[in-house]
Structure 1
Amino acid sequence: MYFLNIINSIGDSYLTWKNVYNIIGKILVIMMAYKSLYWLIGVFFTRKFKPAKNKHKYAILIAARNEKNVIGNLLDSINKQDYPKELITTFVVADNCTDNTAEIARKHGAICYERFDNEHKTKGFALQYLLEKIGEDYGRMSFEGYFIFDADNLLNGNYISKMNDAFDSGEKIITSYRNTKNFDENWIASTYAIHWIRSIRCNHRARSVLRLATNIQGTGFLFASEIVKDGWKYTSLTEDRALTADAVAQGYQITYNDEAMFYDEQPTSLKIALRQRLRWSKGHLLAFCESGPYLFLNIFFGKLFIKTKWRENTKKNNKSFKDIILSIIESIRHRFASYDTLLQLTPFSVFNLAKWIIVILIMGSCYYYNNGINNIDLLSGGTYLAKGLRNLFSIKISVEPGINALFIGMITAIWLRLFYRMGMYIQNMWVAVYVFIIERKNIKKMTFKKKVLYTITWPIFDIIGRYTTYAALFMKVTWKPIPHDSKVTIDDIDTNVKEKVH
């Protein structure tokens, strides 16, 4: 009897909480509405940089663990750059290697340090060690900027020259066009490839045009030496997100250069992909916990709560009217960039699942226990799939109040959520169509049959991300290397590009 009273009480409050549920949904839609502008800008615009007047001195940082299969090809692509060789120094840290990665790196002209530390295993720790060694042997500030690449990357011949154009314009942190060297190897690799291009079109291009801060994505980026003048402190599972949050908090623009292209190898094994996505998800949650409150305060209080200061204080004692106006504009830009980054870090999938379980699944089922089910349409929903099927036929159910209504209500709630996800899966396929059309010049030549297959399988990428986020809430995740074995060279890619042109 006591249990039934609880069900009755929960059911009686359902309609009130359902209204709250709907209001929260509308608020989230409003909060995210500006991203539609990103999509629109990304179709037509990206930031352009004038040819540099000065050639700057750079160091390239590569953290490699057992990368004998690919690191030589990366170093070859660096050695083929059209940028002055005397202004590029390549550093490799062979991190806990059991193969001849270090030997290959030195053979290809890189300065290689070897690190053995089985306790501190992340890429961030390897970069921290490498920058410590550079500080001891060369001085970190002897270079004007630092590039970070993964060992499986390949660079277009003009990559550093194009990035130098952006750096010479005064930008301090620049990311670049992440293409895929094994796009057509299988459907798993293709989902990653489409995701990176989606990020470019839906985030990077618009943020660069609006002078906001886009996000760093692990590899293929350049930053000014002032950022590591005191060393590298980002050693979590996802060091790129921590660096992004710090940079945004301090008011840095993280810009994007569409003309600087590099190529990345994507996983082809589902097991490896799941392992990587689980690490990303755990790192994302940790970054939200570490930087979320910090960015939230930043929206309202500006730089008052900065944890790390890279820049010297350059405040003027006597400000002109122009200085005041520019300061206000910069404050607005900085706060919005903090807001944008906070939304990017927020695990909305977790919050959405939690409120669905509490309000729709549990409270809704209790409501049906009290009041019964009255003509619920099993094809309800706002997706194109739901609307299309409702035009053809209708399936409605009704159940009298009682325990049957409670259990059928639960089953119905689960079905409607799955049905909604099916509809969103189909709608998400249009992202792949969009990518294949608008980025056709940059995508590797492949058959139409493969494009159709990859369009159909592409939405699985977001599904995996959603469920690895749920799993990461409860799992202890450790950093494990991702194996790379692609034999593709920059010459192979150049040949493919020439074949497409002709």
Structure 2
Amino acid sequence: MLSFIQTFNLAIFLLFTFSYAYQIFYALVALVRKTPDLTPKDLHKFAVVIAARNESAVIGQLINSIKKQKYPAELVDIYVVADNCTDNTAEVARQAGAQVYVRNNRQMVGKGYALDFIFKILQRTNDKTQYEGYFVFDADNLLDENYIAEMNKVFDAGYRVVTSYRNSKNYDTNWLSAGYSLWFLREAKYLNNPRMILGTSCAISGTGFLVHNDIIKKNNGWKHHLLTEDIEFSIDSAIAGECIGYAGKAKLYDEQPTTWEQSWNQRLRWAKGFYQVFYNYGGKLVTTMFPDRNFSCFDMLMTISPAMIASLLTVFINAFFLLCGLLNITTIPGIIPATTSALMASLCNFYLVLYAFGLLTTITEWKEINTTPWKKIWYTFTFPVFIFTYVPISIVALFRKVEWSPITHNVCKSIEEVQQ
């Protein structure tokens, strides 16, 4: 039994090291190499698409930040889908200068359905409007004044899908908002940035991305309707051989949950959505990865793999053998120290690895983080705890039916206020 548990723990360690060591390489690439600055030959015409449900408190500020872009205004049109709203979101959006379409459908609920609704409308009129690409934003977002210009650079370079740098409107509210924010900063700087440098496909993250008209036309709208439509789109793109680009200087700010209830519900949906995507696309990623030598498929497979569940299974197995050792101290010598050290090592390694990524991100993105120096340091220690709270969420998501539900946004700040 002792030999089995030692071999098992070594095998799990080697499996995780092999599977995720490339992300350490990504971090090194991000530290030593820079993405070359691109000079666009053309300024393309875009439509901005915003799916909003009861977002009257924040949507006006987003539209204002779009209108303040250092990009020709005649090349950017703004469309809002007031999706199953019970407030005056549509009126606020119209007053701010957007073209608004109202959607009421209580059966087909979720952002993906709202996007499909507006894309189908825009496709019918695109012969006249001649949009080359579509920006997708959430209503709580704010854009840096150079956002569209920077995204246009990457789009003009030939990337048909482009994602951006995701920052936060409310990093300093508490450890929850800081945990989200630090995760998205790390994703931008140490995942998408090195992917772009190395020429492999990036991943979109919910909001702040650009899609070429040809893709929307080919898909006859927006066809991705799982609980995490963003990662589903990224996975589908990798399988199709579509290389998603990244514009690191295109900065977007969004609002993060600040209460445990909001955070629980949102991350429960994310966890369930990842399971759905893994179930529906995991096999396709594997079958595409090997014959096509497509590293993006391997990268995306590791992104959606239920690593948290595998880690928990390892903990439970060690805990089971520890219990056996406690009940049979005289007959199973050595099992207690072996399992105890394995459990402690797992916990310590988990914390230290996450802390290292959080600290590295905080140091390199120090000027981008809008809070006091003390809070910047403190939240590097709470970041691993935030990620650890995914453990109960991941377990519950396995067994509970989860439906899409909106997150309330209340941080009504202008882009100038956020950047100050």
TM-score of the aligned structures, taking structure 2 as reference length: 0.93
Measure how far apart 1:455 and its partner are: 2.2
Instruction: Say if 2:283 is the partner of 1:299.
Output: no
In 2, are the aligned partners of 1:46 and 1:208 still within 8 Å (CA)? no
Please point out which of 108, 115, 119 is paired with 1:120. 108
Instruction: Say if 2:181 is the partner of 1:193.
Output: yes
Please give the alpha-carbon distance, in whole angstroms, between the structure 1 residues aligned to 2:234 and 2:170. Answer: 27
Please give the alpha-carbon distance, in whole angstroms, between the structure 2 residues aligned to 1:300 and 1:427. Answer: 29
Deviation digits for residues 390-434 of structure 1 (CA, Å, limit 9, x no counterpart): xxxxxxxxxxxxxxxxxxxxxx75x96367425632553333332
Q: Which residue of the partner structure matches residue 108 of structure 1?
A: 96
Measure how far apart 1:301 and its partner are: 3.2
Instruction: Say if 2:243 is the partner of 1:258.
Output: no
Deviation digits for residues 176-234 of structure 1 (CA, Å, limit 9, x no counterpart): 11011111122211111111111123211110001101211000011111111022101
Instruction: State the secondary structure of the residue aligned to 2:291.
Output: helix
Measure how far apart 1:451 and its partner are: 2.3
Measure how far apart 1:441 and its partner are: 2.1
Distance 1:250 1:24, change over 3 A: same
Measure how far apart 1:141 and its partner are: 8.6
Deviation digits for residues 27-73 of structure 1 (CA, Å, limit 9, x no counterpart): 33123222221010122334234221101011111000000000000
Q: Which residue of the partner structure matches residue 229 of structure 2?
A: 239
Please say which structure displays the higher CA radius of gyration.
1
Instruction: State the secondary structure of the residue aligned to 1:214.
Output: coil
Q: Which residue of the partner structure matches residue 363 of structure 2?
A: 437
Measure how far apart 1:363 and its partner are: 4.9
Code of the residue aligned with 2:358 in structure 1: it is A
Instruction: State the secondary structure of the residue aligned to 2:399.
Output: coil
Does 431-440 or 220-229 show the bigger shift? 431-440
Alignment of 1:384-423 (within 5 A): 413=340, 417=343, 420-422=346-348
Please give the alpha-carbon distance, in whole angstroms, between the structure 2 residues aligned to 1:212 and 1:371. Answer: 55
Code of the residue aligned with 2:287 in structure 1: it is L
In 2, are the aligned partners of 1:47 and 1:256 still within 8 Å (CA)? no
In 2, are the aligned partners of 1:66 and 1:100 still within 8 Å (CA)? yes
Please give the alpha-carbon distance, in whole angstroms, between the structure 2 residues aligned to 1:256 and 1:134. Answer: 25
Instruction: Say if 2:42 is the partner of 1:54.
Output: yes
Deviation digits for residues 459-478 of structure 1 (CA, Å, limit 9, x no counterpart): 12211223311211011111
In 2, are the aligned partners of 1:49 and 1:166 still within 8 Å (CA)? no
Distance 1:367 1:459, change over 3 A: closer
Alignment of 1:75-90 (within 5 A): 75-90=63-78
Instruction: Say if 2:216 is the partner of 1:228.
Output: yes
Please give the alpha-carbon distance, in whole angstroms, between the structure 2 residues aligned to 1:281 and 1:219. Answer: 17
Instruction: State the secondary structure of the residue aligned to 1:41.
Output: helix
Measure how far apart 1:139 and its partner are: 5.1
Identify unmatched segments of 5+ residues in structure 2.
Answer: none
Please give the alpha-carbon distance, in whole angstroms, between the structure 2 residues aligned to 1:49 and 1:249. Answer: 28
Q: Which residue of the partner structure matches residue 361 of structure 1?
A: 319
Instruction: Say if 2:297 is the partner of 1:338.
Output: yes
Measure how far apart 1:17 and its partner are: 6.3
Q: Which residue of the partner structure matches residue 208 of structure 1?
A: 196
Please give the alpha-carbon distance, in whole angstroms, between the structure 2 residues aligned to 1:217 and 1:453. Answer: 26
Code of the residue aligned with 1:171 in structure 2: it is Y
Please point out which of 61, 74, 98 is paired with 1:73. 61
Please give the alpha-carbon distance, in whole angstroms, between the structure 2 residues aligned to 1:222 and 1:260. Answer: 11
Code of the residue aligned with 1:210 in structure 2: it is L
Alignment of 1:255-294 (within 5 A): 255-294=245-284
Please give the alpha-carbon distance, in whole angstroms, between the structure 1 residues aligned to 2:88 and 2:269. Answer: 27
Code of the residue aligned with 1:82 in structure 2: it is K
Does 25-34 or 280-289 show the bigger shift? 25-34
In 2, are the aligned partners of 1:45 and 1:205 still within 8 Å (CA)? no
Distance 1:239 1:376, change over 3 A: same
Instruction: State the secondary structure of the residue aligned to 1:301.
Output: coil
Does 98-107 or 67-76 show the bigger shift? 98-107
In 1, are the aligned partners of 2:321 and 2:335 still within 8 Å (CA)? no
Please point out which of 141, 160, 175 is paired with 1:172. 160
Distance 1:18 1:456, change over 3 A: closer
Please give the alpha-carbon distance, in whole angstroms, between the structure 1 residues aligned to 2:368 and 2:315. Answer: 40
Instruction: Say if 2:27 is the partner of 1:27.
Output: no
Q: Which residue of the partner structure matches residue 391 of structure 1?
A: none
In 2, are the aligned partners of 1:48 and 1:257 still within 8 Å (CA)? no
Instruction: State the secondary structure of the residue aligned to 2:366.
Output: coil
In 1, are the aligned partners of 2:175 and 2:386 still within 8 Å (CA)? no
Q: Structure 1 runs of 4+ off > 4 angstroms? A: 363-368, 375-378
Code of the residue aligned with 1:343 in structure 2: it is M
In 2, are the aligned partners of 1:46 and 1:258 still within 8 Å (CA)? no
Instruction: Say if 2:409 is the partner of 1:484.
Output: yes
Instruction: State the secondary structure of the residue aligned to 1:215.
Output: coil
Code of the residue aligned with 2:101 in structure 1: it is Y
Distance 1:300 1:376, change over 3 A: closer
Code of the residue aligned with 1:489 in structure 2: it is S
Instruction: Say if 2:387 is the partner of 1:459.
Output: no
Q: Which residue of the partner structure matches residue 351 of structure 1?
A: 310
Q: Which residue of the partner structure matches residue 132 of structure 1?
A: 120
Please give the alpha-carbon distance, in whole angstroms, between the structure 1 residues aligned to 2:298 and 2:346. Answer: 29
Please give the alpha-carbon distance, in whole angstroms, between the structure 2 residues aligned to 1:47 and 1:339. Answer: 23
How large is the Cα RMSD of the aligned pairs? 2.3
Deviation digits for residues 102-155 of structure 1 (CA, Å, limit 9, x no counterpart): 011111111111111111111111111111222234459931111100000000
Does 176-185 or 416-425 show the bigger shift? 416-425
Q: Which residue of the partner structure matches residue 375 of structure 2?
A: 450
Distance 1:159 1:186, change over 3 A: same
Code of the residue aligned with 1:125 in structure 2: it is Y
